[in-house]
Amino acid sequence: MSFFPIGAGPATNAASIRSTTPPGRHPLVQDADTRLRKSALQLEGLFVQRLFAAMRETVPDDGLVTQSNAQSTFTEMLDEKLAEQVPTQWSGSHSLAEALYQQLRRRLAPPATESSPSPTGSEPPR
How many Å apart are CA 92 and CA 121, to the nearest integer? 43
> Would you list the domain boundaries of the chain?
10-57+68-108
SS3 39: helix
Provide the residue-wise pLDDT of the chain in tens; the chain has 126 residues. Answer: 444 444 444 444 444 444 454 555 555 567 888 899 889 989 999 999 999 989 988 988 777 777 788 988 998 899 899 888 888 887 777 888 899 999 989 888 776 655 545 555 555 555
Burial 61-75 (b: 16+ CB within 10 A, else e): eeeeeeeeeeeeeee
Stated as kind and residue range, the H or E segment containing 64 is: none
Q: Above pLDDT 90, what percent of the chain? A: 16
- Are the C-beta atoms of residues 12 and 42 closer than 8 Å to each other? yes
The answer to whether the beta carbons of residues 97 and 46 sit under 8 Å apart is no
Q: Which of 52, 47, 53, 40 is nearest to 12 (CA)?
A: 40
How many residues can be counted in the chain? Answer: 126
